[in-house]
Structure 1
């Protein structure tokens, strides 16, 4: 499965790396792509990932939110 979200608050490459690392750690996630421009987060997973789990992972990475 693939899903795309918008992450708000990222300002640099470090932000992208932190969000990528935290989202990749979610069980079942097989691939993550995060782009600074536009704040796109695309994840691929074996099964649907609970939106609240994605929000938690992004918040763990820093002062970011998922829209």
Structure 2
């Protein structure tokens, strides 16, 4: 599930929600709703997160366990 993966990535890097929210130009509450699975995440936002964390959209979407992005 996307929301679990973005939360785990954030926690693995010891980032606060407010840091990622600022990166995405949204408020912390909106980002928190992403992590709880309450609000759908746009493809554009997922691309930003995948680029930021250096992973693939497939990893974020739980289609693979491989965090390495495609070439």
Shorter-chain TM-score range: 0.3 to 0.5
Q: Which of the two has greater strand per residue? A: 1
Q: Which of the two has greater helix per residue? A: 2
Q: Which has the higher contact order (CA 8 A, sep 6+)?
A: 1
Query: Structure 2 length as normaliser, TM-score?
Result: 0.37
Query: Structure 1 length as normaliser, TM-score?
Result: 0.38
